[in-house]
Amino acid sequence: MRNKIYLVACLAVTMTMGLFASACHGAGPRLDGVPVRNTGHYAIVETERGTFVIELYPKVAPRTVENFETLVRKGFYNGLTFHRVVPGFVVQGGDPDGTGMGGPGYDLPAEIDPKEHHLRGAVAMARKSDQVNPERRSSGSQFYICLEPQPGLDGQYTIFGGVVEGMSVVDQIKVGDHMRKITLSSELPK
């Protein structure tokens, strides 16, 4: 009898922990990537594989978001390729040279927030290695999207957004695929 009571108690604790963890997992409704935060800053990325939506985090990385939005308004990203795709790791784009070495001619100060994590769908700025960039300054335009959680990158790169819709499109991107067009919106597209 004691074993049954112990077993039932253990089962109840396990189920409660599971329900608590699932309830705490997302801050908002979960679409097709990271949880929606309702920031009012969205980038709609049209590719030849389909469209995905990045929610931008101006409270987390204000300079980075401002720079990204400025480049989008100027049409900087339109027609650029995704020059790096590592399955199970990241998709990277934003280099006008398509080599991983180009950019707009400047870099950005790091805005690394220890509360932000490289979840599946996290969007962060690329940067040069610590050996040549000890301040961890970000590329002026190159960004990457995590295809899977990458906790080893936490605290090292500026996360400035997350894919909230169309992560299945991001999963299909191949090296050389184009960002046909990026547009900005103050509302999550329906």
Find the CATH number of the domain harbouring 153.
2.40.100.10
Provide the domain limits for residue 101.
Answer: 28-185
State how far the Cα of 136 lies from the Cα of 110, in Å rounded to an integer.
6
Please check whether residue 22 lies inside any domain of the structure. no
How many structural domains compose the chain? 1
Please check whether residue 89 lies inside any domain of the structure. yes
Give the residue from 60, 34, 79 showing the smallest Cα distance to 125. 60
Please check whether residue 103 lies inside any domain of the structure. yes
Please check whether residue 156 lies inside any domain of the structure. yes
Q: What is the pLDDT of residue 190?
A: 80
Mean pLDDT of the chain: 88
Q: What DSSP state is assigned to residue 62? A: H
Please check whether residue 53 lies inside any domain of the structure. yes
> Which residues fall within 8 angstroms of residue 105, CB to CB, at 6 or more apart?
140
Please check whether residue 20 lies inside any domain of the structure. no
Using one digit for the tens of pLDDT, what is the confidence trace for 5-47? 444 344 443 343 333 333 334 444 434 689 999 999 999 999 9
Strand partners, 73: none
Please check whether residue 8 lies inside any domain of the structure. no
Please check whether residue 172 lies inside any domain of the structure. yes
